Amino acid sequence: MDQQVNLSRRNLLRGQPVSMERPLRPPGAIAEALFTSQCTACGECVTACPQGIIFRGSGAYPEVNLRKAECTFCAACIDSCPEEVLQIAVQPPWRLRLQLEDRCLARRQVVCQTCGDACDADAIRFRPLLRSVARPQIDPDACTGCGACVAACPENALTVIAHG
């Protein structure tokens, strides 16, 4: 549990419900049920993303792959959307948690701090452990959800879990 970050925690603390897991939509996506009813799958956001991380997923609806690269939150996708199902007013731009998988090198006793090095927000710390390699711990309050750590991990050991 301590290896996980839940960006929806602050919303939970505000008493807002968290719905089922869903694909990670481009930032600023409106509620999932509305999104899939109003998005026309036109692909404008896919073309607009300078990072190339938006792809056509199930039903041709856009999804984000943070393993390819981080999101800079440039808002090019939001600006490109003719249906306004991506909105700058939706904050945080998405809600996700990062799940550390067992294939993490540090979990397998191999020294690696690549994800921490990639995190400009300084949201990943490595706690020294007695007779064990230090493992990453993510501070959910400091994490912006940019995905830089996800893209940097040589083992693809950080799994993004999005919530609607």
Residues in contact with ligand SF4 by the rule CB under 6 A: 26-27, 39-45, 48-49, 51, 53-54, 62, 64, 71-77, 80-81, 83, 85-86, 118-119, 121, 123-124, 138, 143-149
**What is the closest distance, in whole angstroms, from the C-beta atom of residue 163 to ligand SF4 in the complex?**
15
Closest distance to ligand SF4 from the beta carbon of 109 (Å):
22
Cα dihedral: 95, 100, 104, 108 (round 10): 170
Question: Of 1 and 130, which has the nearer Cβ to ligand SF4?
Answer: 1
State the nearest-atom distance from the C-beta of 122 to ligand SF4, in Å.
8
Spatial CA neighbour of 152 closest among 102, 126, 128, 117: 117
The answer to whether 138 touches 124, Cβ cutoff 8 Å, is yes
Which residues lie closer than 8 Å to 89 by C-beta, 6 or more apart?
Answer: 28
- C-alpha 78/C-alpha 86 separation (Å) is 5
For ligand SF4, give the closer residue by CB, 80 or 130: 80
Least distance (Å) between residue 50 CB and ligand SF4: 6
Strand, coil or helix: 162: strand
Judged by beta carbon, residue 8 or residue 80, the one nearer ligand SF4 is: 80
* Residue pointed to by tokens 């979990």: 107
Identify which of residues 19 and 40 has a Cβ nearer to ligand SF4 in the complex: 40
